[in-house]
């Protein structure tokens, strides 16, 4: 059996620290959370690879570096309520849960909602992370505003609902672009003003919208 603790340690050193991830809380969270519990059994050996890994339903768990970069950009300190759009395996939500007070993670594929919940429980990370079956392009107004929003699927433009549900001050990371040419943007709201900058270029699965929850 693979030595997952060793693979995890190496991932943090070689994929995160050496590429400039500096937020100690992000590094500590990712050094601790057992990523192998968030991938399907037949992908377990690939859990710590430097790339996205299939999780079924045509979806992927993001590359570790991308999770770290996105989490770092949010500058979480521990008191925040965070919205994640695209819970997938639940791994990214687990990382955010280790960095913030509370995470609401939305997912459109019902099977993945269940799986993400199970994965979070197995990893002992379920206490402050709630996975909800919802179309994340509409956000989740019931629990808004959110101090931080992390979007794990690409939209052609920033959905207005997400911007409206971002607290002031608040930070959002979101891949923007159609097709495979996307940029990861950091959007900051402060005193009623919105500023944006590009963090990196990226390649995420598309954010579904308008299709309703029953169409997969």
As annotated, the active-site residues are: 62
* 158 makes contact with ligand SAH (CB under 6 A): no
- Closer residue to ligand SAH (CB): 97 or 136: 136
Question: CB of 190: closest distance to ligand SAH in angstroms?
Answer: 26
* 135 makes contact with ligand SAH (CB under 6 A): yes
Candidates 15, 29, 72, 86: give the one binding ligand SAH (CB under 6 A): 86
* 107 makes contact with ligand SAH (CB under 6 A): yes
Candidates 29, 66, 109, 149: give the one binding ligand SAH (CB under 6 A): 109
Q: Is 16 helix (H, G, I), strand (E, B) or coil?
A: helix
Candidates 43, 72, 89, 117: give the one binding ligand SAH (CB under 6 A): 89
Question: CB of 79: closest distance to ligand SAH in angstroms?
Answer: 22
Closest CA to 183 of 167, 214, 204: 204
How far apart, in Å, do the first and last CA atoms of the chain sit? 35
* 200 makes contact with ligand SAH (CB under 6 A): no
Q: Got the DSSP string for 142-186?
A: GG--EEEEEE-SBBSS--HHHHHHEEEEEEEEEEE-STT-EEEEE
CA distances from 201 to 19, 150, 180, 198 (A): 15, 16, 10, 8
Whose CB is nearest to ligand SAH?
86
- Closer residue to ligand SAH (CB): 162 or 187: 162
Contact 126, 57 (CB under 8 A): no
Residue numbers 23-82 binding ligand SAH by CB under 6 A: 55, 59-62
* 170 makes contact with ligand SAH (CB under 6 A): no
Contact 147, 170 (CB under 8 A): yes
* 175 makes contact with ligand SAH (CB under 6 A): no
CA distances from 169 to 2, 77, 106, 153, 187 (A): 43, 14, 22, 23, 11
- Closer residue to ligand SAH (CB): 23 or 38: 38
Candidates 72, 137, 165, 182: give the one binding ligand SAH (CB under 6 A): 137
| Residue 198: HSE in the Cβ half-sphere, 13 Å Cα cutoff | 7
* 153 makes contact with ligand SAH (CB under 6 A): yes
* 136 makes contact with ligand SAH (CB under 6 A): yes
């Amino acid at each position: 059996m693979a030595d997952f603790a060793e693979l995890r340690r190496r991932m943090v050193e070689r994929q995160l620290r050496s590429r400039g991830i500096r937020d100690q809380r992000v590094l500590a969270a990712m050094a601790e959370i057992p990523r192998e519990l968030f991938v399907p059994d037949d992908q377990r050996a690939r859990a710590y690879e430097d790339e996205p890994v299939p999780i079924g339903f045509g979806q992927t768990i993001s590359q570790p570096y991308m999770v770290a970069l996105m989490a770092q950009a949010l500058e979480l300190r521990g008191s925040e309520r965070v919205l994640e759009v695209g819970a997938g395996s639940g791994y990214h939500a687990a990382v955010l849960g280790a960095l913030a007070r509370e995470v609401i993670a939305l997912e459109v594929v019902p099977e993945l909602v269940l799986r993400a919940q199970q994965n979070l429980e197995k990893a002992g990370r379920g206490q402050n992370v709630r996975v909800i079956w919802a179309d994340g392009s509409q956000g989740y107004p019931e629990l808004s505003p959110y101090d931080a929003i992390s979007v794990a699927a690409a939209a052609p433009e920033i959905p207005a609902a997400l911007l409206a549900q971002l607290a002031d001050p608040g930070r959002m990371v979101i891949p923007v672009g159609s097709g495979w040419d996307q940029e990861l943007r950091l959007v900051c709201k402060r005193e009623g003003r919105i500023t944006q900058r590009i963090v990196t270029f990226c390649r995420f699965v598309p954010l579904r919208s308008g299709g309703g929850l029953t169409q997969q």
